[in-house]
Structures are given as C-alpha cells and as structure tokens.
A and B are shown apart, each in its own frame.
Chain A
Amino acid sequence: MSQLLRVEGISKEFPGVKALDGVNFELDRGEVLALVGENGAGKSTLMKILSGIYSPDAGRIVIEDQEVDVTGPKAAQQLGISIIHQEMNLMPHLTVAQNIFIGREPRTGPWLRDAELNRRTKQLLDDLGVHLLPTQNVGNLTVASQQMVEIAKALSFEHTKILIMDEPTSAISISETQVLFRLIRSLRDRGVGIVYISHRMEELHQIADRVTVLRDGQYVGTRRMDDVTDDEIIAMMVGREISAAYDDRQEVRTGSADVVLSVRGLSTKNLLRDVSFDLHRGEILGFAGLMGAGRTETARAIIGADPMSAGTVTVEGRELHISGPNVAVKHGIGYLPEDRKRHGLMLEQDVTFNVAMASLSANKTPLGFLREGRARRVADSFIKSLRIKTPSNRTNVKTLSGGNQQKVVIAKWLARNCDVLIFDEPTRGIDVGAKEEIYKLIKQLADDGKAVIMISSELPEVLRLSHRIVVMSQGRVTGTLSPDKADQESIMKLATQNIEEVAA
C-alpha cells in the first residue's frame, strides 16, 4: 500500500480555544482509517481544514508526496478530497441525477441534456452497486438512500481519491449500515482512501483498518484495529479507564398495583398497529428496534404530539384522553426527544430558561409575573445535583456539550416532577464519558421510583439498563424480553421480523 495523504503538525486556534494542536495522521490508498474522539476533540475542525473551509495556523498537508494548500472547498475537490457531512446537503425536490450533477449538468449551449444526465447517473449508480433510479425525487428516499446519493455524488468527481465520512451511520438503521459498509469496502478495494468518523465502537471493528484517536485537539495515537480493544480505544479517547458497572439493577415489582402507565391497542393512521405494554413504578422499559419501527411514533402518540387512531392510554389507573403534550405533562408524563436541538431545547436561551420551560405554571404569580429568582435557584440546584458543567445558570445552552445539554433537558422534566419519563435516544451524539453519567442518572431516576421508557438504537445500552425490553418492528410490538434472557441476536431477530404480509 502506498501513502495517499499525510497530515503533519496541523494546528488551529480560535479566539480563546486551541482547537487543534499539532495533529498528525496518515492515510494509505485502499484503507479505511477511523477517526475518533469525544465531542470537541477536534475532529470536525480537522475535517473542515481538509475540505478547505478553515485554513490551518501551522502544519502541512501532503497528498501523494506533494505538499498542497487547500484554499477552499472547490480546491479540495480538485485535489481529490470529498466530504460527506453529517447533515446532508441534498435538494429534496430534485431527482437523484439532478442532485449528483448539480452545477455540472451535461448541456448543449443553454439546453439541458436530461437523457445524458440520467444515463451517466445510472452508470455511476450501477458501478457502485446502488439500486436507485436516477429520476427518483431525493425527498422521497430514506435517509440511508440519501446517504448513498451523497456518496455517489462524492465519487462522481473523477479525481476523488480521498473520501471523508462524518458519522455516516448516525441516522440509519443497522441493516442499512450493512449496505453502506459493503459500499465502503468496494470503494476501498478500488484504492480510495476513506476517513471514517464515528462514535460507535462496534462499527469500527467491522469497517476500519486502523484507528486514530484525538483528544482535546491533540493527537493521541494510531492503532491497528486488529491489535486494540474497545476499552483501550475508549481509554485513549477519555484519557482514563471507564469501568462499566453491569447488573446492579434493582428489583422491580411488576404487580398490577405498580403499573403507572398502561397502553392498549395503540394505533396510528400510518404506522402503529395494536401496540400494548405496561410500565411499572421504578422500571426502565427499553424499546429496541430498527429505524422507522415505530418507537418514536409510539412515544409521540402517547403524549399526544401526534394523533392516535385507536387504543387507550391509562395513567395511574385512569384512562385518559391525551390531546396534546400539555395534557400529558399535566398527568406527569415527560418526553425527552430524540433530536434534542430541534425538539428539546431553546438553543438561543440560557440554562434557567430551558430548565423552567415545563414548570412555568408553578413559577409564576397569579398575575402571570415570573418568579425569576426562584427559577434561578431551581436551575442552580439541578446544575449541582445533575452535575451539569456550565459556567452559570445564565449560560446559553448552545455553548454546552451534548451530554450537558441532555442533562438540561432532564432537569426540565425533573423540575416538573414527572412520574413517567420517556427518553428517546438519550445518548445520541454524546461523549463516551458523558454517556456513563446519563446511564447513572437514568438508573437513579428509576431507583427513586420514576417509571422510565428508554428508546435506544444502541443495543448494548438497552441490554445494560432495561428491566424489560420491548422490541418493535414495522409499527408492531414483536416481543418483550427480559435482559438476562436477551442478547443482541435475539433482539435483532425480533426487530427484523417481517410482518408486512400480516399487516396487509
């Protein structure tokens, strides 16, 4: 193998922050290099330097033994570097072909040659073994297929030699991930060098040849994937050992008297069919399944964020008609959404503002004046008890890390004193170290008698925390497992159970 890309001593400073400090790595032709590090470790900054969005303060970038200066995204493309960003940059109303060749449409004078465009796209997709029609609208594709389009687009530039992928699997299901991996392997076999950024350990073992670890903007080291264990990588990332405390779940009484939330026959117009389960006091009920299995939809239907077409929700023995989240909150059900930034937080507002959001009615005078002092004291008490790392309760939540933002959302519901907490992907996009704290917190909440629903796509986390695991597939509950009898395989079997024929 020959060397494709070498990065030497790259440093980049922002006002007050040293984002990168002398970072090195090398990428060979036909290699998948995993780049890992906690949030804020400098991965994104490094990628932005390689794609020409930032210019480095110091250091060299060498491509095929030539020192290069990446002056901008266009220059990066010409040097053969393509990046697939975490947020996709596709135009949903255009077709696959139009997206791939945007700005480079084959044309005669001012006239577009659509037939040629579609022919070239088809050839490209066939080459990659991607089964998509060039004329499909991108907006109608699944996230995973959109990712394929992004990859095809990146590779449609003739000289693409280096492909950088920023958390490509964060929004796609396990089976779709396998398709993506096949594509990555075939690219690798063709000599493309791939930098693969991810948080998910199990993926790295599947796909990466080597792993480079960054911490606090500094280069920690590079290991061959075959010679390193997950714990070693995590230790490199966080700079200390993390001991995972397994199996200290408290006993939960599952008598009918302890049922806090009971759902029967819940259905929605589009997806859910006859979803039923009971949630007990002090229980952590895990919800596993593939993307689109209906877990988030179940949560949203329970709290009334989306309408249900059939079924009942019973809280503390009383059957309720929950017409909206405001009614759910009145009955002590809090939902912590999957997409914290879009659905959980006011990013432009401070910690106190966010913590107070769900409990404002308790924090105002009869005339509607806010008790600002009390709200700040409440926020301070949660900053202390949940160990939220923030300079003060007046700090803008946008500046906090993912883990601390999640704690602010948790504090919001604790301030409201909810009995039922529905966590949707509680650790998505959160550092390894902070994950442990969130786990501890969820466990503590259950031990204190709260009833917890935990929706998660990370099976190890479901297996580790749950008292029982509900598995969903295609809008139905396909099984309820106890964690000592469940493992990843048995969950996956239920999660991939095809019930389309039955449904039809």
Chain B
Amino acid sequence: MTTQRTDEDLADAGTQSPPGESVAAAGARTGRFAGLGQGLQQMLAFGTLIALVIIFFIASPNFLTISNLSSILLSTAVIGILAVGTTFVIITGGIDLSLGTAMTLCSVVTGLLLANAGLPLPVGVLGGIAMGALVGLINGFNVAILGLPPFIATLSMMLVAQGLALVLSGVRPIYFNDVPGFSRIALGEIIPKVPNAVLILFLLALVAGIILRKTILGRMTYAIGSNEEATRLSGINTRRWTLAIYTLAGVATGVAGVVLAARLNSAQPQLGVGYELQAIAAVIIGGTSLLGGRGSILGTIIGALIMSVLINGLRILAIQTEWQTVVVGMVVLIAVFADNLRKRRAEGGAHK
C-alpha cells in the first residue's frame, strides 16, 4: 500500500499537480506512516510552486524581484481570503457561487458606512464583515434548513447580492478618499515590504487552519462532507453546523470585501463576478475534493499562490491576458484529473 502511494505521489509531481489530499485524509489512509505521508504531500505541493517560480525566474529576470514577489502576494490576498473561507463549504460537499458578488456587496456596505455616512473606521470594517456573515447565514439557512441544493441556493444569492450592490451604490463606485487610513488596511506595511492585505490573508489562514484541524467546528466540517447521514445518525445536529460553516465562510467573504475596497481605495459595484470561480479553482488546485470530506487550508493557500504565480509569470512573459485565462483553466483541469486518477488507483486496479 505504501509503495503504491509513493508511486501515485510521484505521478502527481510529474503532472505538476499540487497536493491531492488533505493532511487528515493522508494521515488516515497511511496509518503509521501518517506523519511521513503528510509531510510528503505538503512538500510536493510546495515543490510544484517552487518549480513554477524557478521556471519563470529562468524565463525572465524581472520575475524574482522583491517588488514583483510583493505584488504577487498582494494579488493573492483577496482571492486567497475568499478561498480560505470557501474551503470549509467545499469540504462539507457544498459550493458557494455567491462569494464574488457578496464580497462586492460587503465593499459597498463598508463604503456607505464610511464614505457616505462618515462613521468611524471600525464600524465600517465590522459592518462589511457583518454583511458577509449575514449573506453566509442566509446561504446556510437555504441549504441546511430549507434543504436547497447549495448550487442553486448560492446561485440565487449571487444574483441577489449583485443586484443589491448595484442598487445600494447607485451603480457608481464609492471612493474612500475622505476616509483617512482606510487604504492602509490593505496597503500599509506593519511588517516592512509585506502589505497588510497579505498579513491579513496569512493570519486568517492560520486561524482557519486551527479551526479546521483542532476544533469541533472543523471536525463537523469533515464529518458532514464525509457522510452527512451518518453524522446525523451519530446524534449530531448537522443543520446547525452547516449553518455555522456557511456563516463562517461569509465572514471571510466580508473580510475579502473590506480588503478589496481598501486596496482599490474604492468600492466598485460592478466588480465581483468571476472572483468566486477563481477562489473555487484555488481550493481545487489545493487538493480539496469537490465531493467533500477532504481538504486543507495549507493546500488552498498553495493553490491560490500557484494561480497568482502563474498569472503573474505569464504576464511578465508578455502573454496575452486571454491566454493566461486559458492556462489557468487548464491547470484546474489537470488538478481535478490528477485527483480522479489517484482516487481510481486507490480503489483498485483497472484492466491491465
């Protein structure tokens, strides 16, 4: 069994796919080699990222500069924050298509509170985050209590949030020029050379990782994704936990909305559509299974980094934006294919 796994892992490395499965699943499967498997998975993911960096470095000397790396990290921040939140939803076997426009709605709410109403900074920030939590709570209600399929429930929410963002803003960007210190939320550097947005991403990822690994909420996330009925029959109120998980993802959406607004120094009501797919792509590249039950925050962060490194590198190589999108699409395809391949092999030999 162990030998077989190693082969599969190597095959993964060959196709440059990031870590296929979560720490928990890897640990669970390999038994006493858990520690080893876990380390190997993460090293491989990291290796893929490093390989990309080296390829682009050789291709262009402009790639590996402090300012470019800093810009890669900054461009990862918003997608990364969204991806970290939605990792929870995807591990439960759900999906959230409302991420992008809900994030925009949160930006707009923050803009209304700060720029239009002139309220203190913390109120605006918390207001944006609370909006995200509310959207998440409603998504959770629709999925867990009303029993709607997540795809439909969040697709409707995607439209509702988009419409609300446009209505509330009057279809005009809201600028934060008169709100001192707001843009520092994203662009200030508490740690020199590291934009605060990046710091927020990593702090959030750390907290999310701890929640997922160490707390009952995380355990419920894996349990519901592994087998919802068995979880329910174990005497667990799965509805309540599903509600909590969607709400938590909504909080991350709110944080992303505030960070995006701060980075652009404006709330752009037209923005947002498409962010959800990029975030979901990052999660999948990071090895979280769309079928639920498996996934990790570290994988998601690496997935998000792989995406922004790819886009940045292709841009530096002066490849058209349109083609960059094609490449990212293909990377997602390869990641899902590699995951399927491993699963099929794990389930025992095909005709050979």
Interface residues of A (CB under 8 A from B): 14-16, 52-55, 71-72, 303, 305, 324-326, 328-330, 334-335, 337, 342-350, 353, 356-358, 360, 364, 367-370, 372, 391-392, 394-396, 399, 412, 416
Contacts and interface: CB of A to CB of B under 8 A. Distances in A.
A386 B348 CA distance: 29
Given A16-B3, A53-B351, A55-B352, A357 B32 contact: no
5 contacts: A71-B351, A325-B236, A343-B229, A350-B27, A360-B236
A319 B28 CA distance: 42
Given A357-B223, A368-B217, A394-B32, A346 B3 contact: no
B4, B216, B233, B352: residue with the most chain A Cβ atoms closer than 10 Å: B233
Interface in B21-43: 24-25, 27-32, 34
A71 B352 CA distance: 10
B352 A346 contact: no
Given A15-B4, A394-B34, A347 B227 contact: yes
B230 A342 contact: yes
A394 B36 CA distance: 13
B67 interface: no
Given A15-B4, A16-B3, A360 B216 contact: yes
Contacts of A346: 222-223, 226-227, 230-231, 293
A391 B32 contact: yes
Nearest to A72: B351
Contact of B28 (A326, A353, A368, A416): A353
Given A345-B227, A346-B227, A360-B216, A395 B233 contact: no
B216 A342 contact: no
B31 A357 contact: no
Given A16-B1, A16-B3, A349-B226, A326 B237 contact: yes
B263 interface: no
Given A349-B28, A392-B32, 20 more contacts: A14-B348, A15-B1, A16-B1, A54-B351, A72-B351, A303-B233, A325-B235, A343-B230, A343-B233, A353-B28, A353-B219, A357-B223, A358-B234, A358-B236, A368-B216, A370-B214, A372-B214, A394-B34, A396-B29, A399-B29
A394 B23 CA distance: 12
A372 B24 CA distance: 13
Nearest to A57: B352
Contacts of B3: 15-16
A335 to B, nearest CB: 6
Contact of B235 (A53, A330, A353, A396): A330
A52 B351 contact: yes
A183 to B, nearest CB: 31
A71 B351 CA distance: 8
B32 A370 contact: no
Nearest to B240: A326
A394 B31 contact: yes
B236 A357 contact: yes
Given A350-B28, A391-B32, A329 B351 contact: no
Contacts of A53: 351
A370 B215 contact: yes
Contact of B222 (A330, A343, A349, A367): A349
Contacts of B24: 349-350, 353
A367 B217 CA distance: 11
A346 B219 CA distance: 12
A337 B24 CA distance: 25
Contact of A335 (B28, B30, B223, B233): B233
A335 B232 CA distance: 11
B192 interface: no
Interface in B171-221: 214-219
Contact of B233 (A55, A305, A353): A305
A356 B234 CA distance: 10
Nearest to A346: B226
B341 to A, nearest CB: 16
A329 B234 CA distance: 8
A369 B237 CA distance: 18
Contact of B232 (A324, A350, A353, A392): A324
A416 B236 CA distance: 12
A303, A346, A358: residue with the most chain B Cβ atoms closer than 10 Å: A346
Contacts of A15: 1, 3-4
B235 A329 contact: yes
A391 B3 CA distance: 17
Contact of B27 (A55, A334, A335, A394): A394
B234 A412 contact: yes
Interface string B230-263: 1111111100000000000000000000000000
Contacts of B234: 325, 329, 357-358, 412
A54 B348 CA distance: 10
Contacts of A353: 24, 28, 219, 222-223
Nearest to A372: B214
Nearest to A397: B28
A278 B30 CA distance: 46
